A and B are shown apart, each in its own frame.
Chain A
Amino acid sequence: MKYFFFSLLFTSIVYSQQTVIVTYDFHTSFSNNELKNEDAKKLFGNTVELANNQKFQLSYSENKASFKYIDQLGLDSDPQLLNISRMAFTSLDVYTNLEAKAQITVRNDGTLVESKITPLDWEITAESKNIGGYLCYKALFNENFIDSFGKNRSTKIVAWFAPSLPFSLGPKYFYGLPGLILEVTEYVNSHGNTFLANTIELRDKKENIKFPNGKTVTKEEYDKKFQYSDGAVLLAKKREETKGKE
């Protein structure tokens, strides 16, 4: 037992001096079959295809991390479609500072939106599987919220983390498990959006994770900008129609 705890402590100390770089592939089970509007169907199909070809990189060193889209040569895409696919399915760039307990998301208009990290209510299970040679355990949590149409909704998150890689981070804003998240799926409308680790690189030396410069705003301040936009008016109208039908 003493040897086990010493090994765990030694591993933690060793890894705390290191940098880890992980690339993730993305896959969504969404398809455009359920849409009736032809224009929406076409856009949906194009953005799903684009999303399924996107890659992201998680870099972590000294309690700071970045999760960024990897611009791939040869992946020719309309910037608008790319923005839509990232907002709809994959992810915007996210920077995490575990010491300051803060995360910054870089919005498509360049605004830096800062939010405080609050503990995620993970349920760790005994279920395990192997990902890339690493033993991973399953963890779950439900994210409850009220959607833009005023409905109570819940997104189920399923993550697989590797205790042998003691970095409490993962793709997007997911963190707080006792190991690096190598796979995570968000279930939205019974469809799954999954990030899966493709390559994992451990480096002995510390690296400086560069955060974006500029003034940050809170999520509440940022969302308030859109409170009286054309979109908000249409959403409000749609909300009334939905309530009327119920």
Chain B
Amino acid sequence: MKKLFFTAFAVVVFSSVAMANSTELKETTTLQNVIKVVEVENQATPCENAAIDYYEATGSNDPAFFTYLIAMCH
């Protein structure tokens, strides 16, 4: 009886540990995918790069003007 109880207990514990690890792995993978998506979205498009170069060349200090230039790209 004791052996049966111990075996059952071991199976339960072992299964919990195994599942916890796989859950953790899934969460890590998902988080990495999210980070990759955010990085891709923040890359400037060629049009936006042109807008940045134009804005910088004028020496302007007007955020509304820069937003206007970027908006032309969308």
Listed residue (A44, A155, A222) with the most chain B CB atoms within 10 angstroms of its CB: A44
State in angstroms the CA–CA spacing of A108 and B67 once bound together: 12
Q: Does B47 contact A (CB under 8 A)?
A: yes
The 0/1 profile, CB within 8 Å of B marked 1, for residues 105-129 of chain A is 0011100000000000000000000
A237 located at the interface, meaning its Cβ lies under 8 Å from any Cβ of chain B in the complex: yes
Contact A231 B67, beta carbon cutoff 8 Å: yes
Interface of B, secondary structure class, is: helix
Which residue of B42, B49, B65 has the most chain A CB atoms within 10 A of its CB atom? B65
A208-227 vs B, CB cutoff 8 Å, 1 = contact: the mask equals 00000000000000110111
CB pair B57–A226 under 8 Å, yes or no, is no
One of B44, B51, B62 near A87 (C-beta < 8 A): B62
Contacts of A15 in B (CB 8 A): none
Residues in B neighbouring A40, C-beta threshold 8 A: 50-51, 53-54, 57
What is the CB-to-nearest-CB distance from A188 to chain B, in angstroms, rounded to a whole number? 4
Asked if B64 contacts A226 (CB within 8 A), the reply is yes
Nearest residue (CB) in A for B56 is A149
Residues of A near any B CB (own CB < 8 A): 30, 32, 34-37, 39-40, 43-44, 80, 83-84, 87-89, 107-109, 145, 147-149, 153, 155, 188-189, 191, 222-223, 225-227, 229-235, 237-238
7 pairs, A vs B, C-beta closer than 8 Å = A30-B58, A35-B57, A37-B53, A37-B54, A89-B58, A189-B59, A222-B64
